[in-house]
Structure 1
Amino acid sequence: MAGPLPESLRALYRWVDAIPLSRPKRNMARDFSDAVLAAEVVKFHLPALVELHSYVPASSTQQKLANWGHLNRKVLSKLGARVPDDVIRKIVQCRPGLVEQVLVLLRQRIEERQRQQRQRPAAGAGDHPGEATALASSRAGPQQRWDADRLPRAPLYPRQSRALPNMLPVMAPISGEHSGEECRGSGNCPPLQILQAKVRRLEQLLRLKNIRIEDLSARLRAAQRPPGPHSPPAPS
């Protein structure tokens, strides 16, 4: 029987739980193996960086590798969180422990980018690919060790109630605001402020769900659109 998870790993799972992903999480290694949920994690925090329709839910190794390759080139490299090809192959094979390492690094880079955006809002920090790439190259170093044995084996994701009220205490704090949980712990926040914080988090959930619905609707329309009369024949 597995022992208790370290606090750092529990904190990571709470961070992931705060994001309304498109499918329930049961096994981290398997659920993140096709890169779709990893893309949704970035989309939730940095919407401009990710186009969700580019990532196709997959069970085949080829499509999983394609998804991770696209995420690596278009998103992770701009955040300084590029994952080596050999690590991607192990993630695609559902090797336990590696997805958590990717998410730990990704969380650090996302929080760094959010701090920069708050400090330099007028300059539009992070909006320019050249600036983002320069930032990434200055931060991504060879010291990152990708080792499946570095983290405790936790093949079964800690089950969390998916009821919306239970998600609220672990939602990521809004910039410049206390979370409802912090308010209750300190006793410094009035009930109205706690309710306002919960409303803002619900609005975040709705925005991400709407983005996901729009992406899926666009993909469905494209799939249902009949080919034009002058469409070139498919390559043999």
Structure 2
Amino acid sequence: MTGRWLFAFDFDYTIVDEDSDYYVFQQLGPEQQRKMRELYATGAYTWTDLVDMLLGELHSNGVTEAQLRALLPSIPFNPAMHTALELASAQGHEIVVISDANTVYIDEIAVAKGFRHTIQSIITNKGEFDETGRLRITRHTTHPPHGCPRCAANLCKGKELLEYVAARGPFDRIVYLGDGKNDFCPGTKLAPSDLVLARRGRALEQMLLDPQHRAEVAAAVEFWDTSDDVLGAFTRLLGVSAEQS
């Protein structure tokens, strides 16, 4: 028996193999995708506010709610991740998604890919279609500010992880999966018995390979390339086979 574990997942480039915000603009508004890169690099916008603004441009250009909803299920996704989620869920462990995407994207994709039932909670920015069919995205954190110097104003994943554990724990072990800079903060909140699974070739791996940053993370760290690696790690950690999912 492994006890009761918490599997905390990022979403973009972790559960799915693309950034969902970029994917929508790439497919439905390449001009907005270009503007996203340029404007975000100026530092004048939070990611969430920028996505909301550019979704407004998509809507003005005639992109409908139906088109957006129809696109989301096509995002690249490795079925091995579905099996990994099912495996952890079948063993009675808890799964939470903590993401800088939004509720519409995550819910639509999770339902379409068949793993929504494995997730106990989704912590992310609010997405909601208004009466005109325009998707609005609002910050998860608005007031009071979360106060973390590592994280963007709209979401501190470390704070959210600690609050989730306080409300839903205790857990015998936490396994955190992510890829980006904003996945470093929750890594610093983990105990030596916990584990960070960081995707190779992404910002989180670079940070964890730096000795100064690595010293801030007490948990064990492993790296992975594809969802097949995640599934392999889950079967090893849980002492079960993929067929038991």
TM-score normalized with structure 1 length: 0.25
Q: Which has the larger radius of gyration?
A: 1
Q: Larger % of strand: which?
A: 2
Q: Larger % of helix: which?
A: 1
